[in-house]
Amino acid sequence: MVPLRAVIEGETIIGPDISEEEWKDLAVRHRNGLPVTMGCCGAPGHLRVSKKGTQHFYHAVDAGCHFEEESKEHLEIKYQIYRICQSEGWETWVEFPAPDRTWISDVYALRDGRKIVFEIQISTISPSVLEERDLKYQAQGIESYWLLDHFLGRTKDFASGYEAHIFEKAGRPGKKIPYINDSLFETGPENHIFIAKGIRSAGLDAQKQTLFTTNNPEIPLAVWVKEVLKGNYQRYLEETAAGYNRKRRLLIMAAPALIRFQEFYEKIIRSGIYKEKAGRCQRMSRTTAQRINDKAREKKFQDISAEIDWLEKEYRLLVSESSGLFSWKKIPGYPAPGLYFRLESESDVKKIQEMIEIFTRWEESFERALGEPGREFPVDKKMK
């Protein structure tokens, strides 16, 4: 890494915190043999000033430090966060290590028992590595906030984990739930990561040194850091997650009924399976050698036909806007409006569940009434 912190004569020195004169004096003394020990690993180091004037340290050649080299943008952002936290009255450290040195945080802030770390991630990081690193902070009760550069170019990586979280308990693996408008669950990458993994993050534009979220395309670094310290950014993530998790619970409740509802669409509307089956059974009964109770048999088929008409009417009523359960929406790229369940309340879910129970009982009665081809129909039984 490119550290801001080093140990000189037993004292921890934060490069940007000392005056230019003090820095020049240290540089002269270092050239004359004063040792500089890197705070991250204890290896030898040197003093340097960035193009923007930030005083910092760097490792001697072949120092063997396993922490990766940081960019100059990383260095500048890290120092800005450090100074902002200090100005807000927090005890703050840069390059703060874990007791076992399994991690070194970019910035560590402490106040009233609340522990926060900020991690600036300029290079690409996979969701799995991000989760692994964040778990180390979670295990120690530390709030971690990740500033992720190139965030928008990698939204698919984070969205896939979010979608798995949303839909994994709601249906069949690899298949979406019918009649659910996916836009109900659309949100930004910082919410994707927090909802799916509990990881706090924000998009970073390292060149401009600004941040962005779903609802705000450009946030000054100082503004965002102060919102984090006040707890407001955490509340934003939690409140957004609560809304999406509520819809997720409704989705899980509604999924079996909606899957079954799609099956009924195939049978009632698209394929007309009930009508076709009843008609076939009726034709077979007319050709049988047994001609007893012909009138009763024909009356039964008339009743069955009326029952099927009733079922289709109930189905069409249910999918109309007046039912309050479904809506028809025009989706870009599709020629006709699509049918979508509203997914707004538990009472709506219970209504569709009740209708599926009615349709299922009807189907069972229908199958019993038809029975085997040529069977005598029990004319005294109702189908619903």
Mean pLDDT (the chain) is: 86
In the beta sheet, which residues pair with residue 56? 48
Q: Is residue 172 part of a domain?
A: yes
- pLDDT, one tens digit per residue, over 291-333 is 556 777 788 888 889 999 999 999 999 999 999 999 998 877 7
- pLDDT, one tens digit per residue, over 116-168 is 999 999 888 888 889 999 999 999 999 999 999 877 666 677 777 888 888 87
Residues 62 and 76 in one domain: no
The predicted model gives 238-261 an average pLDDT of 95
Mapping DSSP onto H, E and C, the string for 51-87 reads: CCCCEEEEECCCCCCCCCCCCHHHHHHHHHHHHHHHH
pLDDT above 90 covers a percentage of the chain that reads 50
Angstrom distance (rounded) from CA 126 to CA 66: 19
Residues 133 and 21 in one domain: no
Neighbours of 101 (CB within 10 A): 12
pLDDT above 70 covers a percentage of the chain that reads 89
Q: Is residue 253 part of a domain?
A: no
The pLDDT of residue 172 is 62
Go through 329-348 and write b for each residue having 16 or more CB atoms within 10 A of its CB, e for each that does not. eeeeeeeeeebbbbbeeeeb
Tell whether the model's pLDDT for residue 67 goes beyond 70: no
Beta-carbon contacts of 350 under 8 Å, excluding residues fewer than 6 positions away, are none
The two tokens of residue 113 are 């028992």
If we measure between CA atoms, which residue out of 273, 319, 280, 270 comes closest to residue 301? 280
- pLDDT, one tens digit per residue, over 339-365 is 999 999 999 999 999 999 999 999 998
Asked if 366 and 384 count as a contact pair (C-beta separation under 8 A), the reply is: no
The pLDDT of residue 53 is 83
- Number of compact structural domains in the chain: 3
Tell me which of 68, 91, 117 is where a domain ends.
Answer: 68
Neighbours of 167 (CB within 10 A): 22
* Most confident among 105-114, 265-274, 333-342 (mean pLDDT): 105-114
The predicted model gives 90-114 an average pLDDT of 91
Extract long-range pairs of 374-380: CB within 8 Å, 24+ residues apart: 374/284, 374/285, 374/288, 374/290, 376/292, 376/293, 376/297, 377/296, 377/297, 377/300, 377/301, 379/296, 379/299, 379/300, 379/303
Q: Is residue 223 part of a domain?
A: yes
The predicted model gives 252-268 an average pLDDT of 94
**Of 11-20, 25-34, 69-78, 240-249, where does mean pLDDT reach its minimum?**
69-78
Residues 60 and 96 in one domain: no
120: buried, middle or exposed (CB in 10 Å: 19+, 13-18, 0-12)? buried
Identify the residue with better confidence: 290 or 348.
Answer: 348
Q: Is residue 286 part of a domain?
A: yes
Residues 44 and 177 in one domain: no
In the beta sheet, which residues pair with residue 45? 59
Residues 308 and 225 in one domain: no
* Most confident among 157-161, 183-187, 263-267 (mean pLDDT): 263-267
User: How does strand 338-341 pair with strand 326-329?
Assistant: antiparallel
Asked if 81 and 60 count as a contact pair (C-beta separation under 8 A), the reply is: no
The pLDDT of residue 171 is 64
Neighbours of 289 (CB within 10 A): 5
Give the CA radius of gyration of the chain. 33
Tell me which of 50, 68, 86 is where a domain ends.
Answer: 68
Q: How confident is the model at residue 379 (pLDDT cuts 50, 70, 90)?
A: very low
Q: What is the largest CA-CA distance in the chain?
A: 119
Tell me which of 25, 42, 68 is where a domain ends.
Answer: 68
- pLDDT, one tens digit per residue, over 216-225 is 999 999 999 9
Identify the residue with better confidence: 375 or 335.
Answer: 335
Q: How confident is the model at residue 373 (pLDDT cuts 50, 70, 90)?
A: very low
Q: Is residue 287 part of a domain?
A: yes
Identify the residue with better confidence: 123 or 113.
Answer: 113
**Of 1-10, 66-75, 116-125, 279-288, where does mean pLDDT reach its minimum?**
66-75
Residues 89 and 205 in one domain: yes
298: containing domain: 272-370
Angstrom distance (rounded) from CA 365 to CA 324: 28
Asked if 274 and 366 count as a contact pair (C-beta separation under 8 A), the reply is: yes
Residues 77 and 205 in one domain: yes
Q: Is residue 261 part of a domain?
A: no
Residues 348 and 307 in one domain: yes
Beta-carbon contacts of 179 under 8 Å, excluding residues fewer than 6 positions away, are 258, 261, 262, 326, 339, 340, 341
User: How does strand 91-97 pair with strand 210-212?
Assistant: unpaired
Residues 110 and 197 in one domain: yes
Handedness of CA 78, 81, 82, 83 (dihedral sign): positive
Identify the residue with better confidence: 5 or 343.
Answer: 343
If we measure between CA atoms, which residue out of 128, 127, 125, 105 comes closest to residue 116? 105
